[in-house]
Amino acid sequence: MPYLSHEKLIVYQKAIEFVTWTEDLLKEVKRKTTARDHLERASCSIPVNLAEGNSKKSQRERSHYFEIASGSALECAACLDVLVAKNCVPKGQTASGKELLCSIVSMLVALRTTKTAWCVKDGHGRYGGHLFGHEGLRVYQAALQFVSWCDRLMLGNEGKPDLKENLDRSSTSIVLNIAEGNGKFSVKDRCRFLDIAHTSAVRCAATLDLWVACR
């Protein structure tokens, strides 16, 4: 029985379901990676911001928190792609989680323009052959390929723990910020996230130069 109004939201219930799904998945991810840590934090961010947003009276404030929740959901989807790219989990194992995230993002878009949040239906469309719009971007696919390349480099070389951590963090940041930026409605917000992705790419380039210099 729901005690608070946000507990009635279909999207909130799905967000909690995704947190449970994530916990089960992470038990099987033995390696410590940036994507693993981000997935754990971002999955919890979705229901927390949904609950807080639902408690706000002004539509502007509600939309603000719902947009944060949506961004966290897109970040989670990108984290799953990174874990697959790093061979931490098989691709088929992330399918049900990404379907949940797609439903969550679709409903959050509707929540930004309605006050009857719990009435929003569970439904979403695909972007061509993809669940999310960012998955069809060539730059996103290239970023995932770069993550895989970096992971092979790190696993194939001993030592350099600081450089490995920096490369893992920066390469993952490229993917996550492209995904979250693509989901923003305003050009200003999209540019802000894409600028972060660009900066992360530059940091990766500098880290690789250091890698060669420290042989």
Q: Are 73 and 105 in contact (CB under 8 A)?
A: yes
Write down the pLDDT at residue 30.
Answer: 86
167: phi > 0 → left, psi -120 to 50 → alpha, else beta; which?
alpha
Domain 134-213 in the same topology as domain 5-128: yes
Q: Which CATH class is domain 5-128?
A: mainly alpha
Write down the pLDDT at residue 126.
Answer: 52
**Percent of the chain scoring above 70 in pLDDT:** 91
Residue ranges of domains in the chain: 5-128, 134-213
Q: Are 10 and 118 in contact (CB under 8 A)?
A: yes
Q: Which CATH number fits domain 134-213: 3.30.1600.10, 3.40.50.720, 1.20.1440.60, 3.20.20.80?
A: 1.20.1440.60
Structure tokens at 22: 């994530």
Structure tokens at 111: 């929540």
Q: Are 158 and 171 in contact (CB under 8 A)?
A: no
3-state secondary structure 135-191: HHCHHHHHHHHHHHHHHHHHHCCCCCHHHHHHHHHHHHHHHHHHHHHHCCCCHHHHH
Write down the pLDDT at residue 133.
Answer: 87
**Per-residue pLDDT reduced to its tens digit, 111-168:** 766 554 433 344 455 544 578 889 999 999 999 999 999 999 998 888 789 999 999 9
